[in-house]
Amino acid sequence: MTGRPQEGLAWMDGRLAYWSDQKCNNRVHIWWHKALYHIELGQFEEALALYDGEILGAMRPVGTQLCNATALLWRLETLGCEAGDRWRHQLTLWLKQLSGMSSPFNEIHAAMAALRADDRAAYESVLAGMKRSAAAGGELVPAYRDVAIPVAKAMACFVDRDYAGAVEGLLGAEAELWRMGGSIAQRDLVEWTLTEAAIRGDLRDVALSLANERMALKPGSAVNRHFLEAAEAIRI
């Protein structure tokens, strides 16, 4: 989060033996963080290799781990990497978890996997579950109503190339993202997609604002430079 990916990679590699062993139940998430370092450096193939190797090799088919895989593939695809059949495999794992799920964070990722796997029936099933949870009462209602449902709908707009709709939906949920759970790094997936949607939708002012915010936080990020250059290239 401090924008020092090269130092981060060296730090992780120096402690590899402490966190990569099978006894570490959180190693999938840590591999995910390492993949993010590679992405920040513009090393997309290295990140995808970690997905195919270490992440899939260690991942159990549970929502907390599947979220890492979904978020990583989604980021890479927005940057032009081809995920291919990886989405279908991932959705197969998600479908085993959806019955009785009550996690706005996980369900957002499940909806995204369904969209990328081009399975609208699965997406609609996830969305319907979110709506039932939002109507059921309880402490999670604001998370479903104000974040999970609008974000899931906006992600569908993004996949359908309705980028203005995606921007509208994601901007509306941005102030409440903390309700979805997850870390700042994990929730950044939403703001990442918002920035890309504004660029693809030729919404220059919005795109420039978002890209400059990202650059202020991580000026050395290859991804943020890409966002800013793309935003600046939008013609008025």
Angle between helices 63-78 and 27-40 (to 10 degrees): 10
Number of Cβ within a 10 Å radius of residue 1:
10
Q: Is the dihedral of CA 190, 196, 197, 199 positive or negative?
A: positive
Q: Is the dihedral of CA 115, 121, 122, 126 positive or negative?
A: positive
pLDDT, tens only, 27-76: 999 999 999 999 999 999 999 999 999 999 998 888 889 999 999 999 99
Contact 70, 112 (CB under 8 A): yes
Name the percent of the chain lying above pLDDT 90.
89
Residues 6+ apart with CB under 8 A from 170: 150, 151, 154, 190, 191, 193, 194, 197
Residue 102 corresponds to which tokens in the numbers above? 């009550």
Is the pLDDT at 100 greater than 80? The verdict is no
Is the whole-model pTM more than 0.75?
Answer: yes
pLDDT, tens only, 117-171: 999 999 999 999 999 999 998 999 999 999 999 999 999 999 999 999 999 999 9
With tokens 């695809």, the residue in question is 77
Residue 68 corresponds to which tokens in the numbers above? 């890492």
pLDDT value of residue 101: 82
Q: Is the dihedral of CA 186, 108, 226, 41 positive or negative?
A: positive
Structure confidence at residue 88 as a pLDDT band (50, 70, 90): very high
Number of Cβ within a 10 Å radius of residue 136:
11
pLDDT value of residue 122: 95
With tokens 């291919």, the residue in question is 84
Structure confidence at residue 195 as a pLDDT band (50, 70, 90): very high
